[in-house]
Amino acid sequence: MASVPSKLYSDDVSLVMVLLDTNPFFWTTSSLPFSQFLSQVLAFLNSILLLNQLNQVVVIATGYNSCDYIYDSSSATNQSSEDGRLPALYSNLLQKLEEFIIRDEKLAKEEPRGKIASSLLSGSLSMALCYIQRVFRSGPLNPQPRILCLQGSPDGPEQYVAVMNAIFSAQRSMVPIDSCYVGAHNSAFLQQASYITGGVYVKPQHLDGLFQYLVTVFAADLHSRNFIQLPRPAGVDFRASGEHTSAC
């Protein structure tokens, strides 16, 4: 049973919780530079806000050691740019992102050996769900919430239980988890998250066209998704994290 069965929603208004992977150990090995990735994501977020003036975007940075809120379009401080030149979305988010990356790197004790370390996906999923629950309790009429994971780091087996708990919590709250994975291999965590919650999982084949993937697949509100054909995964990996480890 859903945790909020009597909730009233506005059909075409979206609350998009964006989980942004900032793991430096992944981006230093990726064929897509982080700066290029970020510029395409910012353009996509701006398009979400332009589609409906009531839309809300919240960005959570997912680092190697920590995660934190770095942007909320509903905040009064994000309504206008201080310098009058850059949109508030760009100037405020970039400043908070830089501060977060510096803090996250200071927490690193040593660089992982042998493989790229995972980012703290379980933590950012929990933060997104906590924010959504606060929105649920704010009044009877709220935007349609969804989570969008922009991930590149590999799955972390040690996070399996926490990630699955977050997935089932999202399912009970009727919150879809969309996933755009830009890593070398598919993410079993995100495949399961999107499948179980009714979201969409996409692994772009051409990363230089990431913006087109994001706008085409993830820009539409949940009501509009009933009338468009969205990508369907060829298969979902339902193996637990321990089975992945033993198979490698």
CATH of the domain at 172: 3.40.50.410
Long-range residue pairs from 82-91, CB within 8 A, at least 24 positions apart, any chain: 87/46, 89/42, 89/45, 89/46, 89/49, 89/57, 90/42
> Do the domain assignments include residue 174?
yes
Q: Is 55 a residue whose pLDDT tops 50?
A: yes
pLDDT tens digit string along 122-142? Answer: 999 999 999 999 998 987 778
Tell me the pLDDT tens digit for each residue of 146-205: 999 999 999 999 999 999 999 999 999 999 999 999 998 899 999 999 999 999 999 999
Q: Is residue 1 part of a domain?
A: no
Q: pTM of the prediction?
A: 0.87
Q: Across the strands, what pairs with 20?
A: 61, 150
- Tell me whether residue 2 is in a domain: no
174: domain range? Answer: 8-247
The number of domains in the chain is: 1
Average pLDDT in the 36-63 region? 94
Residue 3: inside a domain: no
Q: What's the whole-number average pLDDT of the chain?
A: 85
Nearest one of 96, 115, 4, 102 to 58, comparing CA atoms: 96
**Average pLDDT of the residues in 93-111:** 86
Residue 198 lies in a domain: yes
